[in-house]
Amino acid sequence: MAKSISCQDAGKECTWSATAETEEELMAIVTEHVLEHHKEIELNAESIESIKGLIKEA
């Protein structure tokens, strides 16, 4: 089953969302978005685990 996430899931005022077939594919998309649009977020082990916790079944 596909996985999905949105910035609104994380409480951000951003309308971005993404869906992918696997968590790994989705996290690659998320990482690209965070690096481009949310430079205030440091991608470290803790924040990555928090993000993974927001992933839903699509």
- pLDDT tens digits for range 5-56: 999 999 999 999 999 999 999 999 999 999 999 999 999 999 999 999 999 9
Of the candidates 28, 20, 27, the residue with the CA atom closest to the CA atom of residue 1? 20
Half-sphere exposure of 4 (CA within 13 A, CB side): 11
pLDDT at residue 17, as a whole number: 98
Contacts of 35 (CB under 8 A, 6+ apart): 43
Q: Are 29 and 20 in contact (CB under 8 A)?
A: yes
pTM of the model: 0.92
Name the domain count of the chain.
1
Handedness of CA 22, 54, 13, 33 (dihedral sign): negative
What is the extent of the structural domain holding 31? 3-57
